[in-house]
């Protein structure tokens, strides 16, 4: 890897850090390694993998609020295996860009201040992105950093779609539907354009089904509507998040039930969804393997809400030409795909059971009125592409 420029990406979760290392040749970023740290584990471990092998490295660093020790040791490990002197830039996934950011940006004092100001809109994820940026600034102050925003892909949506039926001044103050998982949808839209250009030009619903889950309506690869709104709680039920909820429930929890804001937040973000309904697990694979009626009901509710959201988004599009499943559950759990598709048979969705069981790229049956695809997503690749583009813009500035 000598003299080959490198890009490092960070994808900060509420309690985890995912990393990707990319080599850049002729302006194209290719992943050569990846890593992950679960910040809840004791001791901390850096899980790394590449084309040839995977390994877990126990970290001696202590977890501090500024992450300096953890990142210093992590970068040290990468430096011992790759020539980090050739690191040209670091790209970050930032969950919320508000109305300020409609695309990736180089991080300077002004943009970092604006990103930090958006913490109240994404209190679980945004602070983690901010402290990663600040830690890299401390450790590598001259290194270019960039931000890619999950909300930016949905800025193409009309104000009509983004508006809640609440007083107009609140919309002007930022209380509106933003949408999330935009980096995933951007990647899928790009793959559709490359591999299925005719499908990409049509009316497509993409179901990003992971521990966080949402759906997006695409027309010609452009976001028209999405299930998540003001926060990452909205839309369909998730691993531990509730999905769409009557706001009267929140009033009731804080009124007659006497729960505090923090307690309600914990219930809705961490105790609900598949975990809350099943009382067993937040993992759809464990629920699928269980014979407990509560596990069955949790999955049925999950499927029911997904199918209902597909139908709503088809209404937004004025039809449905294709349905794409992506992310962990969408890519790997054929039973969930089959159950969702069965509920959408009235829309013309028909699966080929053999192709679905084999996790094939095209899983719709011959003669299906809707093309059904299974496409892996890659948010890190989008971040890497963004940061390479911004780096070259910076270098070529007059």
Active site residues: 150
Token pair in block for residue 365? 């049956």
Strand 105-106 and strand 144-149: the pairing is antiparallel
DSSP letter for each residue of 133-163: HHHHHHHSTTSEEEEEETTGGGGGS-HHHH-
d(CA 68, CA 245): 39
**Angle formed at CA 178 by CA 125 and CA 282, multiple of 5 degrees:** 50
Q: CA dist 176 to 158, 168, 241, Å? A: 11, 10, 20
Q: Where do runs of H (alpha helix) occur along the chain?
A: 68-81, 109-117, 126-139, 159-162, 168-172, 182-195, 197-200, 247-254, 261-270, 273-278, 284-289, 293-317, 327-332, 334-343, 353-357, 379-395
SS3 of residue 284 by DSSP = helix
SS3 of residue 367 by DSSP = coil
Q: How many other β-carbons are positioned within 10 Å of the β-carbon of residue 131?
A: 18
**Angle formed at CA 361 by CA 356 and CA 366, multiple of 5 degrees:** 65
Q: CA dist 363 to 50, 184, 373, Å? A: 29, 20, 6
């Amino acid at each position: 890897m000598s003299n080959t420029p490198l890009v490092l990406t960070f994808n900060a979760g509420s309690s985890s850090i995912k990393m990707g290392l990319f080599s850049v040749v002729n302006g194209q970023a290719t992943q050569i390694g990846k890593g992950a740290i679960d910040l809840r584990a004791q001791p901390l471990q850096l899980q790394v993998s590449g084309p040839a092998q995977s390994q877990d490295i126990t970290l001696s660093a202590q977890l501090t609020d500024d992450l300096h020790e953890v990142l210093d040791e992590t970068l040290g490990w990468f430096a011992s295996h790759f020539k980090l002197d050739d690191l040209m830039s670091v790209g970050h996934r930032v969950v919320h860009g508000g109305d300020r950011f409609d695309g990736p940006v180089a991080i300077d004092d002004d943009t970092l201040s604006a990103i930090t100001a958006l913490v109240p809109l994404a209190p679980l994820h945004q602070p983690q992105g901010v402290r990663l940026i600040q830690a890299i600034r401390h450790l590598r102050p001259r290194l270019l950093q960039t931000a890619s925003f999950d909300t930016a892909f949905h800025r193409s949506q009309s104000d009509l779609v983004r508006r809640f039926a609440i007083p107009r001044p609140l919309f002007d103050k930022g209380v509106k539907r933003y949408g999330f998982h935009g980096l995933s949808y951007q990647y899928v839209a790009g793959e559709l354009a490359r591999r299925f250009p005719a499908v990409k030009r049509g009316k497509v619903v993409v179901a990003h089904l992971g521990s966080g889950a949402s759906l997006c309506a695409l027309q010609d690869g452009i976001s028209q509507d999405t299930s998540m709104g003001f926060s990452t709680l909205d839309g369909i039920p998730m691993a531990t998040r509730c999905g769409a909820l009557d706001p009267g429930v929140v009033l009731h929890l804080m009124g007659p039930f006497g729960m505090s804001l923090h307690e309600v937040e914990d219930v809705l973000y961490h105790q609900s969804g598949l975990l809350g309904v099943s009382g067993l697990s937040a993992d759809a694979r464990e629920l699928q393997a269980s014979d407990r009626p509560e596990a069955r009901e949790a999955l049925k509710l999950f499927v029911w809400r997904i199918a209902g959201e597909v139908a709503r988004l088809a209404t937004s599009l004025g039809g449905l030409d294709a349905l794409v499943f992506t992310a962990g559950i969408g890519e790997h759990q054929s039973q969930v795909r089959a159950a969702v598709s069965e509920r959408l048979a009235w829309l013309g969705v028909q699966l080929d059971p053999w192709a679905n069981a084999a996790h094939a790229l095209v899983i719709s049956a011959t003669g299906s009125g809707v093309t059904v695809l299974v496409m892996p997503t890659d948010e890190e690749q989008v971040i890497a592409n963004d940061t390479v583009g911004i780096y070259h813009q910076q270098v070529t500035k007059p």
